[in-house]
Amino acid sequence: MTRIAIVDYGMGNFHSVARALQAAAPDQDIILARHASEITSADRIVFPGQGAMPDCMRTLQSSGLHDAVLNAARNKPLLGVCVGEQMLFEGSDEGDTPGLGLFAGRVQRFAGPAFQATPGGAMALKVPHMGWNAVRQTRSHPLWGGVAQDTPFYFVHSYYAVPLNEATIAGTALYGQDFCCAIAANNIFAVQFHPEKSAAPGLQMYRNFVHWQP
């Protein structure tokens, strides 16, 4: 039996993630990890996040789990979700917040002409971006297994990651512009959308993560 630790540092929809994982992999040992030792002893890590990245980073540090997450990310399969993906980068424009620095690049807010109303009356796209959006898989990866190209996933966010190394981009979506919504490198896969809110395709992604051998 594989032990999967969901990092519970107080800023995320941890119970929703746990329920989705339990539905996708009922024969696995799934725990909400509130102590560093639980992350250290786990075989796989799910790293969710929700809300503002400055709050998430501050809470992660104060929870005592910061270093355990960094250490696990070096050698264990890790799935980042929503702000959990953003936190893997060097920093964010949201409060000029430093991240974990596991990926080169920064997190920035949706901006540009598509998000501004025009004098002619054209409506601006709303921020945050909320709802279902097709995801374009830009490279093959085991976590895309059984998930069709352009499958919709559920998003709720105002910021998105901009990787410095484009080779780490595993998926994109279109909302006023193409933006990165999935990254992958070595033992890490992370997404901006919420698999646990994305019905059957989201459960398939969690199922793929449980059996992934990076």
Question: Which one of 82, 129, 157, 181 is the catalytic residue?
Answer: 82
Beta strand pairing call for 178-185 and 103-109: unpaired
What is the distance between the alpha carbons of residues 138 and 126, in angstroms, rounded to a whole number?
Answer: 26
Which one, of 19, 86, 22, lies nearest residue 57 by Cα?
86
Count the Cβ atoms, other than its own, within 10 Å of residue 124: 12
Question: Which one of 56, 85, 157, 194 is the catalytic residue?
Answer: 194
Q: What's the sign of the alpha-carbon dihedral 143, 145, 146, 149?
A: positive
User: Is 196 among the residues known to form the active site?
Assistant: yes
Which one, of 44, 77, 60, 70, lies nearest residue 12 by Cα?
60
User: Is 211 among the residues known to form the active site?
Assistant: no
CA distances from 187 to 44, 48, 123, 147 (A): 10, 16, 41, 20
Question: Which one of 38, 85, 94, 196 is the catalytic residue?
Answer: 196
166 secondary structure, DSSP code: G
What is the distance between the alpha carbons of residues 16 and 19, in angstroms, rounded to a whole number?
Answer: 5
By the 10 Å C-beta count (0-12 exposed, 13-18 middle, 19+ buried), 109 is classed as: middle
> How far, in whole angstroms, is CA 94 from its chain's centroid?
17
User: Is 82 among the residues known to form the active site?
Assistant: yes
The residues annotated with a catalytic role in the active site are 82, 194, 196
